[in-house]
Amino acid sequence: MGRSFLKMNGLGNDFVVIETRTQPFQPTAEEVRAIADRATGVGCDQLIAIDPSAKADAGMRIWNADGSEVDACGNATRCVGWILMQSSGRDAASIETAAGILYARRGEGTNVSVDMGEPGLDWTQVPLAEEMDTRNIELQVGPIDNPHLHTPGAVSMGNPHVVFFVDDAETAPVRGAGSLIEHHPLFPEGVNVGFAEVRARDDIRLKVWERGAGQTLACGTGACAALVAASRRGLTNRRAKVEMDGGVLEIEWRESDGHVIMTGPATFDFAGQLP
């Protein structure tokens, strides 16, 4: 008997979600890669397991398409929140992750809001290999006297992010620079790389190279990191819409408690059985 799964996406960032509360699930990296393979498997950016939890409504484990396990994924958290709220009939759900307990709430239509907690802003939290001011770290790409990209902000949203501010997100060297910076020695755990164009104080256009997944249509934690990095530099307000290739997320960095609230759609695509 194959194991059943749900295929979901958050703004085109897509997931294979497996319910493991009745049937334990410990995939090898090779099995994760096989499921994620778009030619021969189901195909996804991330594989998600919904586990039993003593502290929350459910636990969540996340693997990137390359087989590596990671601590956080914002778009997946919205999808898991939606599944838990659909099955419970309630308007809220708590999800235990390696990055802490996250809280999801039902929004309008298919929208789900997730409290992503406080961003990590100290260099040790990102983490960086050496002490730096995370508002603008010493990193550049291109010729020393005229770099294409330089002094990005660094933020942890339960996973490491670096955000470059660019004049035009459409022409940003996402693949070339993203793959280079993902494994830069400054980031001992690797890093997700954002390319953010601030269009207005409440409007950011963003492209993201995701650690272990490459360029994706949308990255929830990346949108959160971009808003925090932009706000810390005074480029935007503490609330903005972040437009990615897959669609728009509303991000707010709350003044009251410093938590980041991410709101956007969670879309159910289909159900199936793993071979």
Parallel, antiparallel, or unpaired for β 239-244 and 203-210?
parallel
105-140 pLDDT, tens digit per residue, is 999 999 999 999 999 999 999 999 999 999 999 999
- The residue ranges of every structural domain in the chain are 4-117+265-273, 140-258
Separation CA 124–CA 91 (nearest Å): 36
79 catalytic per annotation: no
Q: Return the closest-CA partner of residue 79 out of 57, 101, 48, 109.
A: 48
27-73 pLDDT, tens digit per residue, is 999 999 999 999 999 999 999 999 999 999 999 999 999 999 988 88
Q: Which of 44, 79, 219, 224 is catalytic?
A: 219
* pTM for the full predicted model: 0.91
Same-fold call for 4-117+265-273 versus 140-258: yes
214-242 pLDDT, tens digit per residue, is 999 999 999 999 999 999 999 999 999 99
CATH 2.40.128.720: does it fit domain 4-117+265-273? no
Separation CA 37–CA 16 (nearest Å): 11
For the chain, the average pLDDT equals 95
Reported in sequence order, the residue ranges of the chain that DSSP labels E, i.e. its strands, are: 4-10, 13-19, 46-51, 58-64, 69-70, 92-97, 100-106, 111-115, 140-141, 149-150, 153-156, 160-165, 192-200, 203-210, 214-215, 239-244, 247-253, 260-265, 267-273
CATH 3.10.310.10: does it fit domain 140-258? yes
169-189 pLDDT, tens digit per residue, is 999 999 999 999 999 999 999
What pLDDT was estimated at residue 204? 98
